[in-house]
Amino acid sequence: MGGPCITVRREGDGRPSVPYKFPMATSRDLAAEILLRLDRKGGRVKEGLADARRHLKDPRERALLTELAYGTVRRQGTLDAVVAAYSKRPVPRLNASIRTALRMGVYQLFFLDRVPNHAAVDHAVRWATRHAGPRRAGFVNGVIRNLIRGIEGPAAGAEKPRRDVPREDGSAVRMKKSVFADPVTNLAGNLAGRYAMPQWLVERWLGSFGEVRTRQILRTGIARPSLTLRARTTREALVAELAARELACEAGPGDHAVRLAGGEGAIEALLGSGLAAVQDATSQRAVPALGLAPGMRVLDLCAAPGGKTLHIADLLGQGSVVACDVEEHKLDGLRALAPRMGDVGLEVVGIEADGDLPFEPASFDAVLVDAPCTNTGVLARRVEARWRARPADVAELAVIQGAILARAAPLLKPGGTLVYSTCSIEPEENSGVLAAFLEQHPDFEGDVAYRAWPTSDCDGGFGAVLRRRAD
């Protein structure tokens, strides 16, 4: 592939960032290249977008790039199910370039009303020709055109769960033939295909939460998440500034959350002003539960990327924060917070994944453990997480979470407060970890502070407040 190239940094799970390149072209080309590399090598959509979007001057092209990259990964399971119904070859056995062309082309057909069918098909075929040759591009052309002929139109009347492809606005596209599993004999398989979620996860939710709650979680999981800001001073001041910048907004849950739509460039300037930080409303509930007061010394044990570290500083006003992480490459991002911390001192410390922590016992007034988790409360936002998760992850992470809490406990002063939080909705990672910790640490008492389900207003998550007995 010729032409000028830009470098995008890909960061894998716990691995140092490594560069990869793709040709600088249209928003569709850039989105397809990001998706192809995700398919082949893993990584995260946001890391590919970080550089790519800066090379598109037109805000509409940048918006389309973001929509295509995030949306195609978010709805990948549904796209694969539809393609499988019209392809003679199983989707997992297709060439990665062909999978990418099909997924992105079909995503536009079903979910982007402003994109004409011919534009989606033409790009998929041209891109496949460049990456996989004319013969395979012909296969892409045939599958997508057969699929278009298989669309009956907008769904009307009673739901047809084997034929209806749900959209985030509550509407659906109806196919002429059955595409999804029979819900009578395989409800989890039907919901997994229609709502783009691994079947094992749907089965788990049906067993834990019931069908009504599971359907709500699944509907949230296919929606574009709202952008929520945390007012660093007062919500009134932030809303006034947004109004001055002609940005539409509304108050979110809690005292400091503000939801808004669009205005990307203005938002970047706003974050630099010190009035706001990007933080979901559920995430905003963890730090206030610490009961902070000026002068405290606070430990943020799993601090990267630093959103809650900054929140601690805003609530402290004066004092000190020790921010830790086990991944060395994330520490520079934490150190970069220092100019935004005001009169709160910041110490950044790299720690090992196990063993004793490098701090004196009972040396902190408050401790935050925002633990690594399955991310099942934020799957609409962290779109890759659903496809990477394994059934064993829940139990394995619960063990890790318990171990982190056990390491943190001796560092808290008697009478101090420890907050344990996750962005998971799995009971084993939340109430299960809390119960096990309290049973093993009789010098602590505590209870659930909040439990949130993923909705259009906020992410899912969990928080518990633990206090070390003063005696």
The set of catalytic residues is 423
Which of 76, 4, 37, 80 has its CA nearest to residue 385? 76
**Gyration radius of the chain over CA positions:** 24
CB crowding 439-460: b at 16 or more within 10 Å, else e? eebeebebeebebbbbbebbbb
Instruction: Report the distance separating Cα 163 and Cα 151, nearest Å.
Output: 9
**In this structure, what are the phi and psi dihedrals at residue 152, rounded to the nearest 5 degrees?**
-75, -40
CB 201 within 8 A of CB 389: yes
Name the DSSP class of 352: -
Helix or strand run (H / E) with residue 445: strand 444-452
Residue type, 405: L
For 23, residues 6+ apart whose C-beta sits below 8 A from its C-beta are: 1, 2, 3, 4, 5, 29, 33
- Partnered with residue 258 across adjacent β-strands are 229, 251
Instruction: Report the distance separating Cα 136 and Cα 95, nearest Å.
Output: 9
CB crowding 263-300: b at 16 or more within 10 Å, else e? beebbeebeeeebbbebbbbbbbbbbbbebeeebbbbb
